[in-house]
């Protein structure tokens, strides 16, 4: 019965928006949220990432771009995923303009379209051919507001990107990640999801909003996917990052929403006095990706990125919050996951529903 209910995740002709009162309450809650973790500086407080190979999905703009910036400044080799090369080139030009130092990592474009699961699998297979090793992936699970368009299989677009395409892309790449882990490398997979996923889960649990609405169920799918994948014990480390409420962020998306207003620069300036810089939204994911594991050998932890005036001179120590299956929240610490997400029955139901759908469209993916 639960599997039948979950099938409604994929076949919604129209994305249901939250009731106005809920949207207003969430907006006010976000605006009144605490400020980002200002005491944290990725370049200063994290070890260098030179030699690490990382994929960051959704990284040509917005929060994904901010995360990519931090990793690049730590010296990592980062694959920026985007549907079009022109969009990736524009993002790379922006990255050069805003600065990649002190680490000056390498950034490469990798084509990825998560809307169509077939293209997601094809993209993963192409990546495995071009890279013999993959240190870890940082996957963005977007919380974009409703996009009513449908993918080629009749799946609501937001669900296709946020869950199904991400599922196929990740499952296809897992053998490469596990192979890397077998060499003793620190292999991680980090999923980033918004506070809205937690808020909606609580609202559904309390019966405040309907559990059958696809707008809310996609958040359940995000969390269930993340927790179910912690079964992969071959990975030397598995970190799950949940972005705790950080106050209002002046992201690329926020600016895009203002473009229909007259005097755009004026409104950007006004809101900029009340909102926080986009790069601060990438702090917690950078921590989840780069902080030394709890079981790390202190003598083997990489040195900081090339020195600057703010970089710590002392070495880094193993971090007790970076453990297998950790659920990272601000200010950069592990927290307990909700009981709904930890329910193996729900995890298995979603897995069965997903695999049944993929089988129906003739797409075969790895079984974890």
Distance CA 125, CA 351 (A): 22
Q: What is the pLDDT of residue 80?
A: 94
SS3 307: coil
Residue 12 lies in a domain: yes
Q: How high is the mean pLDDT in each 10-residue block of the chain (368 residues)? A: 41 46 47 60 91 90 91 94 94 94 94 94 91 62 54 85 87 84 82 62 56 54 64 53 55 78 85 81 87 87 64 72 81 76 78 90 85
Q: What is the pTM of this model?
A: 0.81
- Which of 132, 137, 200 lies closest to 166, judged by CA? 137
Torsion of CA 49, 50, 55, 58, to 10 degrees: 70
Query: Where residue 117 sits, what CATH number does that domain have?
Result: 3.40.50.720
Q: Classify residue 309 by burial, with Cβ atoms within 10 Å: 0-12, 13-18, 19+.
A: exposed
Residues with Cβ within 8 Å of residue 356, at least 6 apart in sequence: 3
Q: What is the pLDDT of residue 222?
A: 64
- Which of 308, 342, 133, 357 lies closest to 227, judged by CA? 342
Residue 366 lies in a domain: no
**Tokens encoding 288:** 């989840």
Residue 364 lies in a domain: no
SS3 276: strand
Torsion of CA 265, 269, 274, 280, to 10 degrees: 80
Q: Number of folded domains in the chain?
A: 1
CA 63 to chain CA centroid, Å, is 9
| Kind plus residue range of the DSSP H or E element containing 348 | helix 344-360
Range of the structural domain that residue 260 is part of: 2-359
Residue 367 lies in a domain: no
Torsion of CA 185, 111, 168, 15, to 10 degrees: 130
| DSSP-assigned states of every residue in 316-342 | P---TT--TTEEEETTTEE-PPPTTTT
Residue 353 lies in a domain: yes
Residue 368 lies in a domain: no
Residue 289 lies in a domain: yes
Distance CA 321, CA 334 (A): 5
Residue 365 lies in a domain: no
């Amino acid at each position: 019965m639960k599997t039948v209910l979950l099938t409604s995740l994929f076949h919604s002709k129209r994305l249901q928006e939250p009731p106005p009162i809920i949207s207003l309450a969430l907006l006010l809650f976000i605006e009144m949220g605490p400020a980002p973790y200002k005491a944290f500086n990725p370049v200063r407080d994290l070890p260098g990432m030179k030699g690490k190979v990382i994929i960051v999905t959704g990284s040509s703009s917005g929060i994904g771009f901010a995360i990519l910036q931090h990793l690049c400044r730590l010296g990592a080799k980062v694959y920026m995923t985007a549907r079009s090369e022109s969009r990736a080139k524009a993002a790379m030009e922006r990255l050069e303009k805003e600065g990649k130092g002190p680490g000056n990592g390498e950034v490469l474009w990798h084509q990825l379209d998560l809307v169509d699961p077939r293209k997601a699998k094809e993209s993963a297979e192409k990546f495995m051919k071009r890279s013999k090793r993959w240190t870890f992936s940082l996957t963005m699970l977007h919380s974009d507001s409703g996009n009513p368009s449908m993918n080629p299989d009749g799946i609501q677009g937001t669900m296709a990107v946020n869950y199904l395409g991400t599922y196929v892309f990740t499952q296809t790449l897992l053998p490469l990640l596990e192979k890397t882990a077998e060499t003793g490398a620190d292999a991680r997979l980090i999923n980033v999801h918004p506070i809205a996923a937690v808020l909606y889960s609580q609202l559904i649990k309390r019966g405040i909003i309907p559990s059958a609405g696809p707008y809310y169920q996609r958040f359940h799918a995000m969390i269930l996917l993340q927790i179910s994948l912690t079964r992969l014990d071959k990975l030397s480390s598995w970190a799950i990052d949940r972005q705790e409420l950080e106050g209002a962020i002046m992201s690329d998306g926020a600016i895009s929403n203002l473009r229909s207003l007259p005097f755009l620069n004026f409104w950007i300036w006004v809101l900029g006095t009340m909102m926080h810089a986009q790069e601060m939204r990438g702090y917690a994911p950078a921590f989840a990706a780069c902080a030394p594991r709890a079981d790390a050998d202190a003598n083997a932890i990489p040195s900081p990125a090339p020195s600057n005036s703010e970089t710590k001179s002392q070495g880094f120590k193993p971090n007790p919050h970076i453990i297998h299956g950790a659920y990272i929240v601000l200010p950069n610490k592990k927290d307990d996951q909700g009981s709904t997400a930890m329910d193996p029955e729900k995890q298995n139901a979603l897995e069965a529903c997903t695999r049944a759908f993929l089988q129906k469209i003739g797409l075969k993916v790895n079984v974890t």
